[in-house]
Amino acid sequence: MESRGQKRSEIDDELPADKRACSSLEFRPSTSSSSQTPINSVSSTPERNDQNNDHADHMDTESEGGEPEKDSAYDSCDEDEEDQRHSDLRDYQRRRASGDHGKFQTIISSLSEEVDLSQHLVMLTELCEVLSFCTEDSLSGDTSNSLSPILVKLARDETSADIMLLAIRAMTYLCDVYPKSSVYLVRHDAVPALCQRLLAIEYLDVAEQCLQALEKLSREQPLACLQAGAIMAVLNYIDFFSTSIQRVALSTVVNICKKLPSEGPSPFMDAVPTLCNLLQYEDPQLVENVAICLIRITERVSQSSEMLDELCKHGLIRQATHFMSLNSRTTLSQPIHNGLIGLLVKLSSGSVLAFRTLYELNISSILKDILSTYDLSHGMSSTHVVDGHCYQVYEVLKLLNELLPTSARDQDAPQLSEKESFLINQPELLENFGRDILPSLIQVVNSGANLYICYGCLSVINKLIYLSTSDMLVELLKNANISSFLAGVFTRKDPHVLVSTLRIAELILQKFSDNFLDSFIKEGVFFAIDALLTPEKCSLVTLNKCSKLVFPVSSGTRLLSDSSQKSASKEVLRCLCYAFPSSSPSGSEKGSCMLEKDSVYSLAKHVRTKYFAPELCDPDKSLTDVLQKLRTFSASLSDLMNMSLDTCAPNQHEESFYGIMHQVMEKLSGREPISTFELIESGILKSLMTYLSNDWYLRQKGDLVAAKGDIYAVEKRFEVFARLLFSSPDPFSGDLPIVTLIRRLQSSLSTLENFPVILSHIPKQRNSYATVPYERYTAYPCMRARFVRDKEETTLGDCCEDVLTVDPFSSLDAVEGYVWPKVNAKGTSRIKSATVEGQSECTPSNASSSQGGCPNTGEPESMSADLPELKADEVNLTQPEPEQEPSFGQTNPGTSLDETYTDTVEKEVEAQSEEDTQMEEQCPLSCSNEDASPKLLFYLEGKQLERSLTLYQAILQQQMKEHEIVIGSKLWSKVYTLTYRKAVGQEGAHNEGVDSAESSTVSDKVGVYTLYTSLFSNMFPCELASDLEKSNPTYDIVYLLKSLESMNKFIFHLMSRQRICAFAEGKINDLDAFQIAVTSVPQNEFLSSKLTEKLEQQMRDGLAVPVGGMPLWCNQLMASCPFLFSFEVKCKYFRLASFVPLLGQPPSPSHSDSGMTSDRRQSSGGLPRQKFLVFRNRILDSAAQMMELHACQKVLLEVEYDEEVGTGLGPTLEFYTLVSHEFQKSGLGMWREDGGSFTSGISHAEDTGILISPCGLFPRPWSSTMDASDGTQFSEVMKKFALLGKIVGKALQDGRVLDLHFSKAFYKLILGQDLGLYDIQSFDPVLGRTLLEFKALVERKRFLESVHGENTTFEFDSCFRKTRIEDLCLDFTLPGYPDFVLASGFDHKMVNSTNLEDYVSLMADATINSGISRQVEAFKSGFNQVFPIEHLQIFTEEELERLLCGERDSWAFNELLDHIKFDHGYTASSPPIVNVGVPLSCFVLKFRVNFSDVDIINFFGISVAGNHTRV
């Protein structure tokens, strides 16, 4: 016999003899009376399983790519032929059932007679054959009732092992074909007969067949099996069976344990030792079944302390904690893992022995590891996995509550005093428990936990402080910075959370008043408690709001139920008082709130009166020294802002600002910590932003009107600030000052932000029919609304008195499109007549996809017809409204370079405005859309709704302002009354915004001003989040973070400009000093882990399928401050915003947790597939034909090559690789590396002609007067850029990887950003550096002319590296492109010191503006045919490269494991996996430079696009 737990190769998951064809040869009686082990039923199993495995592998290969094929060109059949085949099949089944019925009667009569054994064998063999092929229609209750006693009698016949085997096999088949027959078998004592055979094993194959029969019976009759002793019967000799049979035995026990009787004897307890022993096996499926049995048994005996103690004596706790450990080699599913934690909750609740054992096993260390992974769920794409993880944390909190008994508060449980005395007698256990758990709980709350998890963490902290003694807790609380934590929790509005926080503060002050009183004042805890006593705050936390703040409470063990059971998916909504039963009495059945009225106010008043001295109420006396110092700095900045530049030289003004901020940074990085409260209360952040933005910061949109010349003052302030923040690192921490400031701001943001995560809690999604606005089915619930005309509105008609269903995620513009034709008085008669004619056609089956659209005849047409409207809606949702270009203050007087430079900027601005005016006049009238202006205004309960929001968002926004968030069924059942009135005076304002948006797209004149428009002009007027008031401190923090992120992004521009100014003023005389090396801050420093987790939670919600189903802060923060979120979360948001609304259905779930890669694959999971034939020798032509047919269609493309066999993922990835290489070939005229004679750092791959640029590809400039160059037609170049845009868009949509690396500057153009003179160096270092040096010479000339007059001579100063400009012999043609003439005329033949400025501007314009603008627009137009390119703007250039081309970094071993699916008993820690994975990671690291990302995908089967390797 093989050793237990080892994997047997001959048998896998399939049952060895389950419902397969039987032959008479197979059941030939043995001539020997000895052991019947070699019966063919067992020996034939491996062959059959191998065939099944081959079939399964074949099915896996077919389904690996995703959904089945849906291409009508490949699989088509005639409907009439299909119906005829079904009819013939039904006739055959009826004839077969009639014939089977006759066979059964013959067999029954033959088996009832007393005949010899051979005759019985023949009849039983025939019976098995008939049962193998018959259906449920062939059997009846009478037939089963007649067969049952005969089969039971034969199963008891010990004279022949073959007869027993065949009789038991017939029982198995009978239960399988006709499940109701189990009733008759039980009635005739089949279960005791089978148990008898198992308890006295004589023949191994008979015993195996008994196990299979009992498994079938236990499904329908678990109670009868329990009473007959089936549990011990199947477990008695389980070690003697193979792995697959062991699984069958455990399945039987699972079926019995699922329905254990609530009362009566407990024979199942005898099986506990065996079950606990089985937990040591290595087969995951076997162990999971054992765990389910033990979980069910524990639930059954949870009310008996004696039985719980008996469970503990068999090592159950030790085994359960072993599986909970992250180091366990046996990987269990998430529901089982949660169930084991729930098992420990039951044991610790009712057993003192279990309570002691858990402490002795150091359970806190395991729970600490689980809690520490709470914020690591960003990369999980499966909603099931994430939901399971949330339940896991909830179960951990319930266990922690049970492990901290407080008998003073729970008098109903007398045994709690014994547990508490145990902790008192061994304080070191509680101290170690607190050391592990307290920091983890604080981390969970700070990472953005939802409300009931936050409440659970506070409950555990409260109990821990209550039980701990003074000596052990003071140091622990100080290290955890409990004061700052409490100050952050006080920002929440739920009364339960506030009461728990107040109780914690009271306990700390009661035990350690001397130690924490000062820190409570420093961190603002005292001021937060004092604020709860104000009338404004009290109105927000009253208990009448509490009844609506309910959250799901579900036990983790419910996840173990069958998916068919309704109780498994049912969620009970209750008050937070009942979230953790151990902390509150369980007698209340109504679920009403248990808090008393004004409990928050009363407790807050008690704490302030008892523990805080009266003089602390005086603001002047309660200030700390740090706060007073910061207020002084804030006042100095305000004075500096108000100081007129007439009385202060610019340099002195800048140095004063530098000195103040230097002292502030010393305070922030000093050894004396600054609390978030001190930082915010001092006003230093608001003063800093006001000074840096020159007072734009707090202005409204309409107030941003001033002289644009003052932009130079803003730039100089940012230059000074950047010089300070990027100076030498701090000697203590080794970090740059900007890193210290960012981390301080991130900490404050995590403490203060209170963005809500609103979950819908829809129990089951179902299709709904939305009348408004497009009359179509939706995959989510619809809202009910009634549209009523405003009482004062006289020009509009009534809409409809009926209640209409409205798509909750449609914008108000779309709703207006439905309502306006019905209420417009001018077109009422026409609309009514059209409505009468079309009523017969407008039904749910052929509803129109848009107002005025044609009725649809099928679902695909409906989906495609809805696409334009959905695209427009999503652009409104994800992009901020167009803003007016900001204006600036008056010109700064002075005699230095500042005045001259400012005048130059003003002249450039004026010239640019004239160009804009001319272009706007040339714009045809068709560009303006008269229907784009809003026609109606909508009001809900008297308040106007914002047009940029969806109806769902508008309702949520109004509820949040009133602090009454309604969730659950009430949100959808309520009828909302929307009042409408005609929009008056809205046309002008809207057109003004359109003009502003259009003017912003016009290319600015290239020069120094391009830097300002791309950085400073767009920094301050943007809206961050509409639900944040500008007086909110969170607004100051986010705004300053946005400014720092922009400064970090443009640090090279700032420092280069500073060097140019220094050279112009003579402070620098060497042009080599322009080679600056500025180290920017890593982008992940700006990431907010708390906001990332919150957005992750929000996107898990069922209604987050489109981004319009999320709260407004999600969309607006993602649009204005995407740097706050991780790349993985941005990928998920990008998928929701770009693809899901176009599908009209939620994406197919993916059970992978590999981060971004699974996101890309999941984005195309719901798309239908389309095959396309490609010719290798004409790859670009094939790509053009493919995109022409399918670019606008939302299908997943798969490639097959002409005269080649095979299709699917591999050929498709190869196609995108080949297309990428074709676009990089020389001679296309697309890239500046191709054809330019002065480009640097360019090489060609041998024998391929592929361009290789170290800085990435950038478009080649083409003059507007050139139609061809070197035999290449510009029209062909434009077509190729349009095709490239389609290819890139389709690759992103389908989740494919391209081997096509663009330059950073080209990615900026794709993202809609402007390029400036400083960007040239990123793709052409030599040209960019030369132009900057020329620009420095121009600035020096201007400075000397302003100082000495225009007639001065400065030929030495104007020399370029000791050479006169005239001697360089430069003409006004683009270097490397002699056909590209920059300018013509007498003054622009040769470059000299006089026209050098024009030369630099024209060069930059030709390189990054006019010379490439048409190509870029062609690329964007092609891309927009797939999906709007604006959706990419949430990514940085580096992230877009990663999204399009995949990971370019080396892969670590752990990253490789994330892309491998383990099967057949292998886990991540299995020695073979480790032995293969480590060399593989080394190989990839060493040789990946020889492979593209796509080559590695094809070679190893490991992909950044969600492909996995199966081991």
pLDDT at residue 20 above 50? no
Judged by average pLDDT, the poorest of 1023-1032, 1038-1047, 1249-1258 is 1023-1032
Q: What is the dihedral of CA 1007, 1011, 1016, 1019, to 10 degrees?
A: 130
Neighbours of 586 (CB within 10 A): 9
Instruction: Pick from 188-202, 322-336, 373-387, 721-735 the range whose average pLDDT is largest.
Output: 188-202
Instruction: Let me know: does 842 contact 855? Beta carbons within 8 Å.
Output: yes
pLDDT at 1174 over 80: yes
* pLDDT score at 221: 92
Beta-bridge mates of residue 551: 574
Q: Is 1361 exposed, middle or buried (0-12, 13-18, 19+ CB in 10 A)?
A: exposed
> 1406: Cβ–Cβ under 8 A, 6 or more apart, which residues?
1261, 1263, 1374, 1380, 1382
DSSP string, 244-285: HHHHHHHHHHHHHHTT--SSS--GGGGGHHHHHHHTT-S-HH
- For 1154, phi then psi, to 5°, come to -100, 20
Q: How far apart are CA 231 and CA 40, in angstroms?
A: 28
C-alpha span between 541 and 496 (Å, rounded): 9
What pLDDT, on a 0 to 100 scale, did the predictor assign at position 1063?
A: 85
- Residue 46, pLDDT > 60, answer no
What is the pLDDT, as a whole number, of residue 1000?
Answer: 36
Measured between alpha carbons, how far is 909 from 891 in angstroms, rounded to an integer? 13
β strands within 357-449, DSSP E: none
Query: What is residue 1284's predicted lDDT score, i.e. its pLDDT?
Result: 95
The fraction of the chain above a pLDDT of 90, given in percent, is 23
Instruction: Find out whether 1196 and 1294 touch, Cβ atoms under 8 Å.
Output: yes
Return the beta strands (E) in 895-1031 as ranges.
936-940, 943-944, 975-982
Element (H, E) at 1243: strand 1243-1244
Q: What is the pLDDT of residue 766?
A: 63
- The reply to whether omega before 179 is within 30° of 0 (cis) is no
**Under 8 Å CB-to-CB from 834, ≥6 apart: which residues?**
none
Distance in angstroms (rounded) separating the CA atoms of residues 866 and 848: 9
* Residue 1015 confidence (pLDDT) above 60: no
Question: Bigger pLDDT: 108 or 1007?
Answer: 108
Taking residues 896-923, report their average pLDDT: 41
Asked if 240 and 201 touch (Cβ cutoff 8 Å), the reply is yes
Greater confidence, 1135 or 1464? 1135
In terms of phi and psi (left: phi > 0; alpha: psi -120 to 50; beta: otherwise), the region of 114 is beta
Q: Angle CA(7)–CA(286)–CA(258) in degrees, nearest 5?
A: 160
Please provide residue 394's backbone torsions phi and psi, each rounded to the nearest 5 degrees.
-65, -40
What sign for the dihedral angle of Cα 356, 362, 366, 372?
Answer: positive
Least confident stretch, 730-739, 943-952, 1073-1082, 1479-1488: 1479-1488
**Pairwise CA distance, residues 1448 & 1434, whole Å:** 21
Give yes or no for residue 906 having a pLDDT over 70.
Answer: no
For residues 886-895, one letter each, b for 16 or more C-beta atoms within 10 angstroms of the residue's C-beta and e for the rest, the string is bbbbebbebe
Per-residue pLDDT averaged across 748-754, rounded?
88
For 1324-1335, how does the pLDDT look when each residue is reduced to its tens digit (9 = 90+)? 988 988 898 888
Total-model pTM? 0.75
Most confident of 18-27, 141-150, 1055-1064: 141-150
Asked whether the predicted pLDDT for residue 551 surpasses 70, the reply is: no
- Contact between 958 and 943 (Cβ < 8 Å): yes
Using alpha carbons only, how large is the chain's radius of gyration in Å? 38
DSSP β-bridge partners for residue 1231: 1259
Which helix (H) or strand (E) segment is 1197 a member of?
A: strand 1196-1201
Whether the CB-CB separation of 1018 and 1004 falls below 8 Å is answered with no
Model confidence band, residue 1011 (pLDDT cutoffs 50, 70, 90): very low
Q: What is the mean pLDDT of residues 349-353?
A: 90
Three-state DSSP state, 900: helix
Confidence of residue 25 (pLDDT cuts 50, 70, 90): very low
The whole-angstrom separation of Cα 1179 and Cα 1218 is: 7
State residue 975 phi and psi, 5-degree precision: -95, 120
Average pLDDT, the chain: 74
Distance CA 208, CA 42 (A): 9
pLDDT at 923: 38
Q: What's the average model confidence in pLDDT over 784-805?
A: 87
Q: What is the mean pLDDT of residues 74-85?
A: 56
Confidence at 47, pLDDT banded by 50, 70, 90: very low
List of E strands, 536-695: 551-553, 572-574
pLDDT digits (tens, 9 = 90+) for 1078-1093: 778 899 999 998 899 8
pLDDT at position 44 over 70 = no
Residue with structure tokens 């006049």?
A: 921
pLDDT of residue 1434 exceeding 80, the answer is yes
Q: Which has the closest alpha carbon to 1509: 1455, 1448, 1471? A: 1455
Phi-psi region of 1438 (alpha: psi -120 to 50; beta: other; left: phi over 0): alpha
**In this predicted structure, which of 98-102, 108-112, 565-569, 1493-1497 has the lowest mean pLDDT?**
565-569
pLDDT at residue 379 above 50?
no
Q: Is 828 exposed, middle or buried (0-12, 13-18, 19+ CB in 10 A)?
A: middle
Place of tokens 């056909």: 1379
Name the burial class of residue 1222, with classes exposed (0-12), middle (13-18) and buried (19+) by CB atoms within 10 angstroms of its CB. Answer: middle
Dihedral sign of CA atoms 959, 960, 962, 965 in order: positive
**What are the distances in angstroms from CA 6 to CA 2, 239, 322?**
7, 11, 20
For residue 177, is pLDDT > 50? yes
Which among 1092, 1397, 1264, 1158 has a CA at the least distance from the CA of 377? Answer: 1092
Q: What local confidence, expressed as pLDDT, does residue 966 receive?
A: 58
Whether the predicted pLDDT of 61 surpasses 70: no
Least confident of 452-461, 529-538, 540-549, 1489-1498: 1489-1498
Helical ranges in 1205-1303 per DSSP H: 1209-1223, 1274-1294
Q: Are 1465 and 284 in contact (CB under 8 A)?
A: yes
| Residue reference for tokens 């306006």 | 820
Query: For residues 731 and 1447, which has the higher predicted lDDT (pLDDT)?
Result: 1447
CB 908 within 8 A of CB 1009: yes
Q: Is residue 1245 scored above 60 in pLDDT?
A: no
Q: Is 186 helix (H, G, I), strand (E, B) or coil?
A: helix
Amino acid at 1289: G
Q: What is the pLDDT of residue 706?
A: 42
From 100, 179, 95, 173, select the one nearest 132 (Cα to Cα). 173
What is the rounded CA–CA span in Å between residue 1156 and residue 1133? Answer: 11
Query: What is the C-alpha to C-alpha distance for residues 291 and 281, in angstroms, rounded to an integer?
Result: 12
Residue 968: its pLDDT value, please? 62
| Secondary structure (3-state) at 536 | helix
* Amino acid 438: pLDDT: 92
pLDDT, tens digit, for every residue of 925-947? 333 344 557 889 999 888 888 88
Q: pLDDT band at residue 1413, thresholds of 50, 70 and 90?
A: very high
Is the distance from CB of 407 to CB of 416 less than 8 angstroms?
yes
Confidence band (pLDDT; 50, 70, 90) for 718? confident
The more confidently predicted of residues 10 and 1371 is 1371
- The pLDDT of residue 1397 is 87
Residue-level pLDDT at 1122: 93
Q: Are strands 1373-1374 and 804-806 parallel, antiparallel or unpaired?
A: unpaired
The residue type found at 1350 is E
Q: Any idea what the Cα angle at residue 687 is, between residues 684 and 690, rounded to 5°?
A: 150
Average pLDDT over residues 612-624: 68
* Residue 75: per-residue pLDDT: 39
Distance CA 943, CA 1036 (A): 27
DSSP characters for 344-380?
HHHHHHH-HHHHHHHHHTTHHHHHHHHHHTGGGGGG-
Q: What confidence tier does 1148 reach under pLDDT thresholds 50, 70, 90?
A: very low
Task: Please give the DSSP secondary-structure letter assigned to residue 1029.
Answer: -
pLDDT single digits (tens) 464-484: 998 887 777 788 888 888 988
Residue 1198: which H helix or E strand, with range?
A: strand 1196-1201
- On whether the CB atoms of residues 726 and 1007 are closer than 8 A, the answer is no
Average pLDDT over residues 369-379: 61
Q: Give the pLDDT score at 893.
A: 37
Residue 170 predicted with pLDDT over 70 = yes
What pLDDT, in 10s, does the model give residues 267-305?
Answer: 888 899 999 999 988 888 999 999 999 999 999 998 888
Which is it for strands 804-806 and 783-789: parallel, antiparallel or unpaired?
antiparallel
Q: Phi and psi for 1437 in degrees, rounded to 5?
A: -65, -40
pLDDT at residue 1448, as a whole number: 61
Query: What is the residue type of 1327?
Result: L
**Rounded CA separation 1301/1494 (Å):** 13
Range scoring the smallest mean pLDDT among 505-514, 1151-1160, 1209-1218, 1423-1432: 1151-1160
